[in-house]
Structure 1
Amino acid sequence: MPDQLITHLRHVDLAVPDLSRQQDFFTNAWGLSAEHSDTGIAFLAAEGSPEQYVVRLREAADKRIDLIAFGAGSPSDVDALAGRLAVAGVTLVTEPGTMTTPGGGYGFRFFDNEGRTIEISAEVAVRRHRRIEAGEHVPVRLSHVVVNSANPEETRAFYEKHLGFRLSDILMHPRMGEMMWFLRINAWHHSLAVARGPHPSLHHASFELRGLDEYLRGTGKLLRAGVEKIWGPGRHLAGNNTFSYFLDPHGNTVEYTTELELVDEDAWHPHLYDFSDPAVSDQWGTANAMDEFVARKSFNDPDRGLFVAPPV
């Protein structure tokens, strides 16, 4: 396994046909703040996060993941990662260099094994952010991103071998075998997870709220606003985090969560959890059952952006 040069998750970038409707959802319903926006593109920040933005939206004919971005410790770490990927035969979309997105920095992009565009950057300017106060039900940060994979074992191996991700836990089913792998790049239980699915796509993007009260207030606000909930509220066993899953206007699943587990890196051993046990999916027993409807929604539409780099 390579050195742990990646430090954290920065943002997830989505392309959608109806930018104004998507932006309205993420700002007025979901609680992000629009900054640095321009014609055909919007950069959305979380009030409690030092990242310049946690979601980027771009107007396009095809719905797709534009890219998933991670931070590195220094420009030399960026160069080291790019060099290792190139030697391993991974396609670099851009060579390491000065970035023109908000906050600048130094970074590069590449295609992962299934064709998703991944960005690694360092020295991005810190955004002026603030402490989220008690009762404020707005996202503090982007917690994690989960992707569907048609070849999840290979995808897991790619991120472990080339990028230094570590396995935290696995979900399995007696009939279907291993189904989801939780991968971490720091002490958070997972920043990325890989789910077995019929095609590569976004499974969900998850946003951390301040605490349990704020998580439930946020969940309730969305329910009162008529946003479609597909699963929750509840508490997972893997990661020990709460969950409420909703659909955005383009059918992407987005999650409110809180209290994601921080693991002791020296003592942690991955668990193999059987999610046919209802307590694995939801320790509280408050969420609706994980059924075929929830699974179908989580499969999402096939990603139209594989091995096609976003224009910006």
Structure 2
Amino acid sequence: MITLQTDTPLALHHLHVTSEDPQRLGSFYTNLFDLKVVPHNGNQIALAGGSRAIVVHYGKSGEFAAAAYAARDEAALATLKAKLGDLAETTTPADEIFFRQGAIRIRDPQGRCLIIGVPNKQRSPDELPARLQHTVFQTTQLEAVLDFYVNKLGFVISDEVVDTEGRVTTCFLRSDDEHHSLAFFRGSQDVWDHHCYETSSWNDIRDWGDRFARARYSIFFGPGRHGPGNNLFFMITDPDGNRVELSCDLQRVDAAHPPGVWPHEEYTLNSWGRGWIRT
């Protein structure tokens, strides 16, 4: 079966978010994540550094504007664009701040946007590793959303969480060899849930925890270990209330590996202790 993982791998490259106070939110990512302002033509704030980047637009705080995924090269992007056909929309200059010309934009059935392109600059090592790795959403239409991402875009299901009635409550999707770059929770609202940065070791998790502590940002979930993905993690919130996860040791998954099935319980979300179960 042809999928993103086997044919045209994608990795999460940067995010577009909205804020009622873009300067305050930008300062958080500048100061805590070592990002710097990237000059460009536009009124949004573009920040980048090492293996992470974010674009902040003026708007309602806590909302998601787009997730930008990087193709490995222009040939892979052309192959994907041909496969997607009419699903591939024309991008705007704001979509291409970190990508070469020719990027594409995709909208899912609920209006979420993905920008797919080829990075215009090679990434450099970070002094304190934390590579932007995945983003997660809550949705009221899980089946329709999964049908779109799996059967139309080519994401692959790595793991599903299933309740006692046999209903899928969470699904983790991969676009390359990492366990997931995207995930969806069944919820009572359609909202952005969190985004995650992958570090290189447990010691990095320690160092990030100390860094946030010195800036008086407290952990609200974790530290712990997720079942699906088997990664160590903790979460904080940024000044707009966006949830930010720091992770390490995320599982890598072979293309032929069948989806795993996990029970909907606290142990699945955090095998070390209390889980944060969405409603």
| TM-score normalized by the length of structure 2 | 0.87
Counterpart in the other structure of 2:109: 113
- Match of 1:104? 100
> Matched residue of 1:156: which SS?
helix
Q: Do the aligned residues in 2 keep the contact of 1:2 with 1:163 (CA within 8 Å)?
A: no
Any unmatched runs of 5+ in structure 2?
none
Q: Over aligned residue pairs, what C-alpha RMSD do you find?
A: 2.7
Shift of 1:75: 3.4
Alpha-carbon distance between aligned partners in 1 of 2:152 and 2:133, rounded to the nearest angstrom: 22
Give, in whole Å, the separation in 2 of the partners of 1:102 and 1:140.
18
Matched to 1:234, the amino acid is G
* Local SS of the residue matching 1:25: helix
- Asked if 1:130 corresponds to 2:118, the answer is no
Q: What residue is the counterpart of 2:74 in the other structure?
A: 75
Match of 1:204 among 194, 213, 232: 194
CA contact (8 A) 1:173 1:179 kept: yes
Question: Which residue identity does 1:273 align to in structure 2?
Answer: W
Residue 236 of structure 1 pairs with residue 226 of structure 2: yes
Q: How many residues get paired?
A: 275
Identity percentage over the alignment? 25
**Could you tell which deviates more after superposition, 138-147 or 177-186?**
138-147
* Alignment check: 8 A CA contact 1:96 1:108 kept: no
Q: Structure 2 CA distance, aligned partners of 1:233 and 1:165? A: 28
Inter-partner Cα distance in structure 2 for 1:240 and 1:203: 19
Q: Given the superposition, is the C-alpha separation of residues 164 and 128 from structure 1 closer, same or farther in structure 2, using an over 3 Å criterion?
A: closer
User: CA–CA distance in 2 between the matches of 1:168 and 1:83?
Assistant: 25
- Within 1, Cα distance between the matches of 2:264 and 2:91? 41
The C-alpha deviation readout for 1:233-259, integer Å capped at 9, x for no partner, is 001111011111111111111101111
Q: Which letter does structure 2 place at the counterpart of 1:101? A: I
Structure 2 residue aligned with 1:19: 22
Residues 34 and 171 of structure 1, relative CA distance in 2, 3 Å threshold = same
Q: Which moved more, 1:219-228 or 1:156-165?
A: 219-228
CA distance in 1, matches of 2:132, 2:54: 8
Query: Structure 1 residues 108 and 148 mapped into 2: Cα distance closer, same or farther (>3 Å)?
Result: same
Distance 1:221 1:272, change over 3 A: same
State the partner residue of 1:271: 260
Q: Deviations over 1:90-134 (max 9, x none)?
A: 4x5416999741353421112111101111112x223351264xx
Asked if the contact 1:2/1:162 (under 8 Å) is kept, the reply is: no
Looking at structure 1, the residues matched to 92 and 215 of structure 2 have their Cα atoms a distance apart, in angstroms, of 44
Structure 1: gaps of 5 or more residues: 133-137, 297-312
Q: Which residue of 1 aligns with 2:35?
A: 33
Give the secondary-structure state (helix, strand or coil) at the position aligned to 1:54.
Answer: strand
Instruction: Spell out the pairing of 1:40-55 with structure 2 (5 A cutoff).
Output: 40-47=43-50, 49=51, 53-55=52-54
